[in-house]
Amino acid sequence: MLLASSVPTLYQASNQAADQSTAPLRIEISEETTMEESWQSGDPYEYYMGRWSKLVAELFVDWLSLPTGLSWLDIGCGSGALSEAVITKNNPDELIAIDQSENFVSTAQQRLGNQAKCKVGNALSLPLDDASANVTVSGLVLNFLPEPEKALAEMKRVTKKGGTVAVYIWDYAGRMELLKYFWDTAVQLNPNAFSLHESHRFSKADAEELSAAFKRAGFAEVETAPIEVTTTFSDFDDYWKPFLGGQGPAPTYALKLEDTARNHLRDALAQRLPIKEDGSIPLTARAWAARGLA
């Protein structure tokens, strides 16, 4: 529910069912980070992050509150969670979903069927004409791009004048607890992992930096808002096993460990996590969303 307030609206869900124009968008990967990450396979990603991305995507589309029947672009579509939310809630006239991974494009196309056209493409050089759509969106992607502001400029280019461009990214340095527990524990066991900790790498992935980046890219009427979801894991295995799928920074790190070190990490996490008496693990995940007019 949208609340009339002087502070940004906080959207919440459960899986039970300020201008800083002088500061650059500092959400790039630290130079100390040398680990090559994998973002290629749809099924492991869905188990690791896609199920939570789906919850955020639905609230993100609600926040946009746009009319039905528009043309949409989804940049960095991954397994298709955001595109699916757009289809379900906004019944678009046309939806084009783009990702650089052929495997993700295949997964998304299978998920979305004939309700979307899924294509392989680069967010920094989109294979689309100028003014191709009314709305361009991107979920959980911008901070991983080497030139995020160039990506925003591309999104603006392919959006019709006066159309909406909107993104959301995880609040890595704040309330992204499923990752914070993992990396805090990993660093406790191996201080050399600090440069890989996503709250360190993406320490400026917040509303102020998003707003400033949108304004520098020339968007009008820029707004930001937090979106929170509850990520409830049924038991410890439900939390731990997705980290063995190799998709994303934390799972890539876990798979690169020797068996003994990985087992130590698993056991330490089991001690650190707030596991309830029934075995479940309720955590909070917050994303920051931003929007502007092209």
Name 125's bridge partners: 122
The string of pLDDT tens digits covering residues 274-286 is: 999 999 999 999 9
Lowest-confidence pick of 35-44, 127-136, 138-147: 35-44
Is the predicted pLDDT of residue 34 greater than 50, yes or no? no
The string of pLDDT tens digits covering residues 232-259 is: 999 999 999 999 988 788 999 999 999 9
Which of 13-17, 125-129, 244-248: highest mean pLDDT? Answer: 125-129
Taking the C-alpha atoms of residue 137 and residue 82, their distance in angstroms, rounded to an integer, is 8
Task: Give the mean model confidence (pLDDT) for residues 78-90.
Answer: 95
Share of the chain above pLDDT 90, in %: 77
pLDDT recorded at residue 142: 94
pLDDT recorded at residue 204: 85
- pTM of this prediction exceeds 0.85: no
What are the structure tokens assigned to 96, written together? 């084009």
Is the predicted pLDDT of residue 35 greater than 80, yes or no? no
Q: Is 123 exposed, middle or buried (0-12, 13-18, 19+ CB in 10 A)?
A: buried
pLDDT recorded at residue 23: 30
pLDDT recorded at residue 43: 66
User: DSSP letter string over the chain?
Assistant: -----SS---EEEES-----TTS----SPPTT--PPP----HHHHIIIIIHHHHHHHHHHHHHH-PPSS-EEEEET-TTSHHHHHHHHHH--SEEEEEES-HHHHHHHHHHHGGG-EEEE-BTTB-SS-TT-EEEEEEES-GGGSSSHHHHHHHHHHTEEEEEEEEEEEE-TTSSBHHHHHHHHHHHHH-GGGGGG-HHHHTTT-SHHHHHHHHHHTT-EEEEEEEEEEEEEESSHHHHHGGGGS--SHHHHHHHHS-HHHHHHHHHHHHHHS---TTS-EEEEEEEEEEEEE-
Share of the chain above pLDDT 70, in %: 85
What are the structure tokens assigned to 228, written together? 């929170």
Q: How far is CA 208 from CA 73, 155, 232, 243, in A?
A: 25, 20, 29, 30
Is the predicted pLDDT of residue 5 greater than 60, yes or no? no
Name 105's bridge partners: none
The string of pLDDT tens digits covering residues 167-223 is: 999 999 899 999 999 999 999 999 999 999 999 999 888 999 999 999 999 999 999
Task: Give the mean model confidence (pLDDT) for residues 138-150.
Answer: 93
pLDDT recorded at residue 107: 92
Taking the C-alpha atoms of residue 33 and residue 236, their distance in angstroms, rounded to an integer, is 28
Integer-rounded Cα Rg, in Å, for the chain is 19
Lowest-confidence pick of 11-25, 144-158, 224-238: 11-25
Of 188, 171, 206, nearest to 264 (Cα)?
A: 188
